[in-house]
Structure 1
Amino acid sequence: MSTVASLALLYGGLAVTGASAAERKRADTAAVASDAEAPAGEPQAKAPVEAAFSTGVAKGRDRLDSATSTSALRGDEIQKLSARTLADILRNIPGIRTESSTGDGNSSYTIRGLPLASGGSKFMQLEEDGLPVLEFGDFFNVASDIFIRADFNLAAVEAIRGGSASTFASNSPGGVINLISKTGDVEGGAIQVTTGLGYDTKRVDFDYGTKISDTLRFHIGGFYRSGEGPRNIGYNAYQGGQIKFNMTKQLGNDGYIRLSGKYLDDRSPQYLPGAVRITGTDDKPVYSNFANFDLRRDSVLSPYIANVIVLDGSNNPTSIPLSRGMDAKVASVGLETQFTVADWTITEKARFSKISGGTTRNLVANIYSATALPASLGAGTGTFSYATGPKAGQVITNLAGLNGNGLIAATSLNRIDASSLDNFTNDIRANRAFKLGKGEFTVTGGVYKSIQNLQSDWLYANILQDVAGDGQSALINYTNAGGVAQSQDGFLGFNRSGSTAFYRRKYDVQYDVTAPYGSVNYHIGKFSVGGSIRYDMGKVTGQIYGADLGGGRIGMQSFDFNRDGVISVAESKTAFTPLSRPAPVNYKYNYISYSTGINFRVSEPFAVFARYSHGARANADKVLFSNKVSVTDGSMPNSDDGYDIVTQLEGGFKYRNSALSVNVTAFLANTEDTNVQAGAITTDRKYRAYGVEAEASYRHGPFSVTGGMTYTNATLKSDQLNAAVAGMTPRRQPDLIFQATPQFEVHKFTVGANFIGSTGSYTQDLNALRLPGYTLVNGFIQFRPVDRVQLMINANNLFDKLAMIEVTQPSVPANGVGVGRATNGRTVSASLRLDF
């Protein structure tokens, strides 16, 4: 049987006839690309043949015949990675950097040192079955990964970095990650139940696929889960599931038509930065936990901070449970077909998705030592008391000894409420191969169309809470020395902060994208040379609302939330949306992307390639509420502000034989980035990054190992708004990231480990305070006592490492109190699987 080495090897090498159910499941994984057309006249390979790689390219090809840098993770092998989230899975792909400590969604992703100024995936497109989940992967706090799940439906994850990604998908100059669903090629199914050992999670996964006839097949699968999750927050934070279905009708030898559907209704918590002790020096800082708050397994979430109390997007009072977390509702239907007309292969993909949800969270603004509170909080004078929790009403007499750490957090409770992220996407292409001399000339042309809605409300309140682990944090009231309550039930105001309506916003915008594209490729002997081009045309229309827009727009008022007839100090600070004063949005942008490459298959197992690409990414909601879009007529005076350009030069080699696979790519990228970083700090920057990425796999008998590394030298070349950062290394950008998965597999059991690591980086762009590097170890054991039954134990962060992902402070604070985020601590789960 194939092992982890088959992530890049032996993709189609498993015989199906007479195989066990588990083997048939793996074969179904290997068959994922069966609908992709292989290039005509491809020479018979003497080395093992990979199935065609089809993501971000004109047509499916063996990776050794393509001038691109690609990777694939296959089906059941992903379970061995002990991944708890999609971001945990994707960090096993070379070249991709993920910051995966926020929970199931809103993680940050980038490729090859391209900027990661804020959350989501700006330069990398997340796709599901070849079409984007959202047209823009970095919508503020409603990123693509909230609305996609990895479960037993997943046949493979394909990734293309750079290369033709910029011309075969919109808004993806850095690369494309494509989650590919099983389609019932191989009959059989599985059901698996999973429980946490030492933490609260309960989950069931299932899938089943079969042939109804020789030309008709289907696949169905999904999951349901419930539990508190990997951190101690005191309530059931994970709840929901997904079901997906597809049916495929085969049309002749190379055609098919497929109908697919998906329903996702799920919620999960977002883990945000909390208190961390920082001592030492900027060059050699020491990060540690405060008493009664473990950054690996605690959170500022708590059942005693139950609701976000605000005016909703229509300015009516509402109380939103904090337990809603990141909630996603997706109902989608898709149609995909491929057929041949006059030797032209036509491929059509279309999907409509009705998407809603959002993010409910508490974002720590500042953490104070209780003996050093600011003047706005009485500087330690007046009276503090518990507003919620088991000690509600009790006066806090010893602030310095509070919870053993003496800390109080000023926190922004917020709900980014996305009432509609509905989108329609369609991609139709045609390609044909012609004989030209002694070679083959392939022509591809297509048109991509996308309509993406963004209807969302930003709702903020601000509170005081203590810093306590195990889900015990409670709201705190403050009464000044004159006896006047400055808070109400723990709320300092029903806005983001102070006495302003900052960040109280409403978006009602539609993005309409049309992109014709084409490519040519000539393959003669050992050489293949080609190029592709794409012309993106975008139209952005709608309205935005908010006091941030200026022009006399007012966003503050008083509102009697507790209906006692008296306006408290906190109630006098209520933000509302100026619904009668919208600002129009009405602008267009267009840009050309192109890519050209050459591939030389030196010998059957060895190829070298080079490629140059010029692409771009349209700026979505991040340029709204900025001076780049007129609040008078909605125009964009400088059309270049509508997109950021990425140019990339890459080259490398690929080697593959029956035991060993090695792929190495050197790269150079220049990038523009217009973004929002840390609140309202707008950035207008240029970056440069160069380096090398490598992946390899080796198999000998029952032993196999796969691994990868990416070395990146990234520089922030300039910022029109902050010249001081020129020449600096972008924040949180390490020089080296790496991953490796060795394993030993025999008939009855498999044992192995997954290593994920990073060298150090800087917490902020001014390059003072260091973030230390780390290596995380995930372990797994699979035991198969009888045919069709498997027991698996896996551990994430096996050695319970405190691995810092993010720190707010630019240098070591004098009082040692910082705000930071770390990976989850050790979690161990057990799974029982039955194949049938």
Structure 2
Amino acid sequence: MKRSVWGGVAVFAIVCNAAGAMGQEAPADNTDQLEEIVVTGSVRQQRRFDVSYAVNSLSQADILRLAPKSMTDLISAVPGIHVEQSGGEVQNITRVRGIPTDRGYLYYQQDGLPLYHELDGFFFNQGDGMNRFDLMTERLEVVRGGPAPIFASAAAAIANVVTVTGDQVARGKAQLTLGSTGLYRLDAVQSGPISDSTTFAIGGFYRYHEGYRDNGFPSDRGGQIRGNIKHEFDNGYVKVSGQFTDDHNLFYLSAPTADPRNTAVSLDPYIDYHKGTLHTPELRAATLRYRDGAGVLQSVQGDLANGRHMRFTNIGIDYQGAFADWTLSAKAGYTSGRNHFDALYTTTNPVDAASYAAGFLARSQAAFGSGVARMGYAFAGTGGAGIYDPARDSGLVVQAQYRSVTADFYSGQSDVSLTRKFETGFGSHDVRFGLYGALWGLDNFALYQNYLMQVRTQPRLLDLAAYNAGGTAVGFVTDKGALNVAASLNSGGYDGRLFAFYGADTWDVTDRLRIDVGLRHERYSYDGYGRLTGTADLGDKTTLADDATRAFTGAVGTQSLDVTATNWTVGGNFDLTDHFGIYARTSRLEVPPVASITSTYPTPSLAASNARMHEVGVKASFGRTYLYLTGFYTKFDPLNASFTAFNPQTGRSDQTINFIGNAENKGVEADGKWQITDALSLAGAFTYQEPNYIDFSSNTGADGSRANGKQIVREPKIFFNIQPTFNIPIEEDNLSLYGRYDYVSKRYTDFFNNTALPSYGYFTVGATYDHGDWSVQVVGDNITNAKGMTEGNTAGDRLAGQGVPTAIFGRTIFGRNYRLMLSRKW
């Protein structure tokens, strides 16, 4: 069998329509991997077996069987991308082959275009922050390394969400999901013909979720609707699509798990490891104050239950047409929306309550007079009368930071390309030339305020009061629980413009040898502004909390920036037989400064970063049994690992630490499936890597060389999942039993690897029973209630860790929970 190169608009439409046909989804176990088609990262759609890079495709059947809790949870099924999915449904972390950023330059697209051009806006990202799966998700294709820098901007990997497109057969499906964590969700989709040449598809979800932790208020509520209308011509088609998302999602923070005075003492009696949280209903009516540029005192009302409220609309158009030997593709999309983000972030580890109070005695005596005899705690807002004795509780107090952030954003993007296949005397060339352009920007406002609270789930806010000898409060360190009013204040915005040219050539030298090359050149232009801030005393003499707040000065700074970036890739694929092949690829990714840098004062480093990505692979495919094995090496140069650490004296992240150096990662990843019998299969994904810092230095007094050779922060050396599946035919019905085991090896909270995040593993089990058009599915996550921690306290850990060998403060994985899904197709 010779390798087939799929081409033409008609074939593309057939592939998409067949894959998106509701009611005719083939079970994932019946997929012939040798014939699996992918469209992401190549000149035109082709078989996965034929491409010279690492790519996975998860069909809708795969997604429904995996029953992911979030888009990031779904990404965890593929190798080479380490995920931290403990933040909730959104704002989770992905790291691609050790690239040392919280997104790993994993660039999301929807039908080949991003919803927002840049990886991160202001406290939102176009990853799981804007992309949610539902029954309108036909499949997800994930490209790691390889040609990703050619077909997307600043991309070390691409996750392309391909949506359902209708065909001439009317189909529909609805699914009800109920969860043991107070989850209620309804998904639905309908597609079919409008006329002989026009079809439609529409679907979405609505969800209400109490949450995985005991917040005292709902964690997630809202949903989205997506749809499209497609009209086919004799030589192609045009498709118009739209999306509206309106969703609230709580962001889970880190929490203490052991007493820092004696790490052998668990804090489980106060904060349950799996369900405990510092979220509190007392912050459903938070008042955050600041002084504006005219010197007028302003206030913002916060509600922690608002969570990350993402509301946006996207419209798009996609045209493809064949003209003689050329295929023209033109896509455009526009997104407009707002992110209103209320969250509670941790700042410092818990401290001994008595020692902490004593540390404010001298300052309180200076502020409130020599009559101050002692310091003590009271419940916030009681005027010091509601006495609280920490010794009757954990003996600890902790501070956390309420963040109120808004960003109004827009993003318009378009991609126009021409594709043609040329036959030559020495093989054939399939070439694609394209232009990509984007206009995007936002206006933002951020106000942070620090609070003092108990160490327990749903803690009460605390006032630290100065008492006289008679027991009367004569002053306060706090202000109704607020420890630092307006600890941080920012406002600004930017507009970004990008014009990019790219080209790619797939050269079929013979029917078994293929060589790929690609080039992308980008020109960026940014304009930004920022409202400057200074220090101000709000003038309340009864409290120390407002003595040194941040305030707008009335001045506005502006900045412009023009930069370019050039990316390239070269790869080759050779089929040894019809079932065995090898491939190799080298790529260069240049990442320019992000647009938000133009609204930051003082201006941080403007240096671009470069990633050199190399990979070699071996592949074997025999129907439903397959194995893809890839060795990779990535060098990130330069790595600007500078950060601002939290300063407990000021309540702000104003301790700047500059680390400049390189990062490298070498390893191997594998994903495969063994179809043992018609009924039994074993699938999985495995990654082993060596993510290290090299050539580190610092100009702020820290010894950067101590990080050399150390493991990159929060990057494991090993992570994998194993998924057995057993199908049991029952007359005309089918029962499918399956499981999954996930494992993540040891990581570290800090550059110097002082504090470890222990390895962990957990089990998921599930069963699906299909009866005609009906299906019922039960899934249990972390059924053994295994313990695991994905990160420490990021505000203060990165330099020195937590002062202990093993982390005692961090964001833990969710505990045991179950979901029941009932669906019907028609």
- What's the TM-score bracket when you normalise by the shorter of the two chains? 0.7 to 0.9
Q: Indicate which of 623, 640, 656 corresponds to 1:674.
A: 640
Q: Residue 29 of structure 1 contacts residue 74 of structure 1 at CA under 8 Å; is this kept in 2?
A: no
Distance 1:311 1:397, change over 3 A: closer
Find the aligned partners of 1:349 and 1:202 in 2 and give their Cα distance: 36
Shift of 1:319: 0.6
1:578-617 to structure 2, matched below 5 A, reads: 578=553, 580-617=554-591
Shift of 1:684: 3.3
SS of 1:463's partner is strand
Answer yes or no: is 1:306 the counterpart of 2:284: yes
SS of 1:382's partner is strand
Find the aligned partners of 2:627 and 2:747 in 1 and give their Cα distance: 28
Q: Residue 12 of structure 1 contacts residue 51 of structure 1 at CA under 8 Å; is this kept in 2?
A: no
Q: Residue 43 of structure 2 contacts residue 430 of structure 2 at CA under 8 Å; is this kept in 1?
A: no
Find the aligned partners of 1:167 and 1:88 in 2 and give their Cα distance: 26
Shift of 1:278: 6.7
Q: Indicate which of 397, 402, 413 corresponds to 1:413.
A: 402
Answer yes or no: is 1:558 the counterpart of 2:546: no
Give 2:367's aligned residue. Answer: none
1:365-380 to structure 2, matched below 5 A, reads: 365-366=347-348, 367-373=350-356, 375-378=358-361
Q: Which amino acid in the other structure matches residue 277 of structure 2? A: S
Give 1:260's aligned residue. Answer: 241
Deviations 1:680-714 (A, max 9, x none): 54543311111111000122212222211111111
Find the aligned partners of 1:136 and 1:301 in 2 and give their Cα distance: 30
Find the aligned partners of 1:494 and 1:150 in 2 and give their Cα distance: 39
Give 1:202's aligned residue. Answer: 184
Distance 1:345 1:653, change over 3 A: same
Find the aligned partners of 1:716 and 1:241 in 2 and give their Cα distance: 41
Find the aligned partners of 1:322 and 1:15 in 2 and give their Cα distance: 42
Find the aligned partners of 2:261 and 2:40 in 1 and give their Cα distance: 47
Q: Residue 289 of structure 2 contacts residue 486 of structure 2 at CA under 8 Å; is this kept in 1?
A: no
Distance 1:180 1:278, change over 3 A: farther
1:152-551 to structure 2, matched below 5 A, reads: 152-172=135-155, 174-185=156-167, 187-197=170-180, 199-252=181-234, 255-277=236-258, 289-311=267-289, 316-366=298-348, 367-373=350-356, 375-378=358-361, 381-387=374-380, 395-402=386-393, 405-418=394-407, 420-469=408-457, 472-482=458-468, 483-496=474-487, 503-523=488-508, 524-547=510-533
Give 1:823's aligned residue. Answer: 813
Distance 1:683 1:621, change over 3 A: farther
1:763-778 to structure 2, matched below 5 A, reads: 763-778=749-764
Q: Residue 290 of structure 2 contacts residue 550 of structure 2 at CA under 8 Å; is this kept in 1?
A: no
Shift of 1:96: 0.6
Deviations 1:377-413 (A, max 9, x none): 459951211126xx997634532222xx222111111
Shift of 1:629: 3.7
Q: Residue 129 of structure 1 contacts residue 180 of structure 1 at CA under 8 Å; is this kept in 2?
A: yes
Q: How many residues align?
A: 766
Distance 1:278 1:607, change over 3 A: farther
Q: Residue 546 of structure 1 contacts residue 555 of structure 1 at CA under 8 Å; is this kept in 2?
A: no
Question: What RMSD in Å do the two structures reach over aligned CA positions?
Answer: 3.1
Distance 1:624 1:409, change over 3 A: farther
Q: Indicate which of 50, 71, 81 corresponds to 2:66.
A: 81
Distance 1:293 1:76, change over 3 A: same
Q: Residue 280 of structure 1 contacts residue 286 of structure 1 at CA under 8 Å; is this kept in 2?
A: no
Q: Which amino acid in the other structure matches residue 441 of structure 2? A: N
Deviations 1:459-480 (A, max 9, x none): 11111111222xx311111112
Distance 1:189 1:684, change over 3 A: farther
Find the aligned partners of 1:689 and 1:381 in 2 and give their Cα distance: 55
Distance 1:212 1:622, change over 3 A: closer
SS of 2:476's partner is coil
Give 2:115's aligned residue. Answer: 133
SS of 1:775's partner is strand
Q: Residue 477 of structure 1 contacts residue 486 of structure 1 at CA under 8 Å; is this kept in 2?
A: yes
Q: Indicate which of 687, 690, 697 corresponds to 2:663.
A: 687
Find the aligned partners of 1:692 and 1:313 in 2 and give their Cα distance: 54
Q: Which amino acid in the other structure matches residue 563 of structure 2? A: Y
Give 1:24's aligned residue. Answer: 24
Find the aligned partners of 2:376 and 2:737 in 1 and give their Cα distance: 58
Distance 1:701 1:354, change over 3 A: same
Answer yes or no: is 1:696 the counterpart of 2:672: yes
Q: Residue 509 of structure 1 contacts residue 585 of structure 1 at CA under 8 Å; is this kept in 2?
A: no
Gaps of at least 5 residues in structure 1 are 1-10, 32-46, 497-502, 548-553, 561-565, 631-635
Shift of 1:194: 1.4
Answer yes or no: is 1:66 the counterpart of 2:51: yes
Deviations 1:636-669 (A, max 9, x none): 8xxxx35211111111111111131110111111
Q: Which amino acid in the other structure matches residue 794 of structure 1? A: V
Give 1:43's aligned residue. Answer: none
TM-score in terms of structure 2 length: 0.87
SS of 2:479's partner is coil
Give 2:7's aligned residue. Answer: none
1:705-724 to structure 2, matched below 5 A, reads: 705-721=682-698, 722-724=704-706
Find the aligned partners of 1:308 and 1:737 in 2 and give their Cα distance: 40
TM-score in terms of structure 1 length: 0.86
Q: Indicate which of 631, 649, 663 corresponds to 2:628.
A: 663
Shift of 1:834: 1.5
Shift of 1:140: 4.9
| Higher mean C-alpha displacement, 234-243 vs 716-725 | 716-725
Identity of aligned residues (%): 22
SS of 1:494's partner is strand
Deviations 1:240-279 (A, max 9, x none): 11000111112226x2111000000000100011112178
Answer yes or no: is 1:648 the counterpart of 2:639: no
Distance 1:508 1:559, change over 3 A: farther
Q: Which amino acid in the other structure matches residue 301 of structure 1? A: H
Q: Which amino acid in the other structure matches residue 485 of structure 1? A: F
Q: Residue 136 of structure 2 contacts residue 202 of structure 2 at CA under 8 Å; is this kept in 1?
A: yes
Shift of 1:57: 2.1
Q: Residue 313 of structure 1 contacts residue 459 of structure 1 at CA under 8 Å; is this kept in 2?
A: no
Distance 1:232 1:377, change over 3 A: farther
Give 1:44's aligned residue. Answer: none
SS of 1:495's partner is strand
Deviations 1:31-88 (A, max 9, x none): 9xxxxxxxxxxxxxxx864243111222211122221111111113213224211111
Q: Residue 768 of structure 2 contacts residue 776 of structure 2 at CA under 8 Å; is this kept in 1?
A: yes
Q: Which amino acid in the other structure matches residue 109 of structure 2? A: E
Q: Which amino acid in the other structure matches residue 398 of structure 2? A: A
SS of 1:504's partner is strand
Answer yes or no: is 1:832 the counterpart of 2:822: yes
Shift of 1:139: 3.8
Q: Which amino acid in the other structure matches residue 24 of structure 2? A: R
Gaps of at least 5 residues in structure 2 are 1-11, 363-372, 469-473, 646-652, 699-703
Distance 1:582 1:214, change over 3 A: same
Query: Highest relative contact order (Cα 8 Å, sep 6+), 1 or 2?
Result: 1
Answer yes or no: is 1:619 the counterpart of 2:593: yes
Find the aligned partners of 2:623 and 2:683 in 1 and give their Cα distance: 14
Q: Residue 757 of structure 2 contacts residue 806 of structure 2 at CA under 8 Å; is this kept in 1?
A: no
Q: Indicate which of 708, 711, 734 corresponds to 1:748.
A: 734
Distance 1:762 1:812, change over 3 A: same
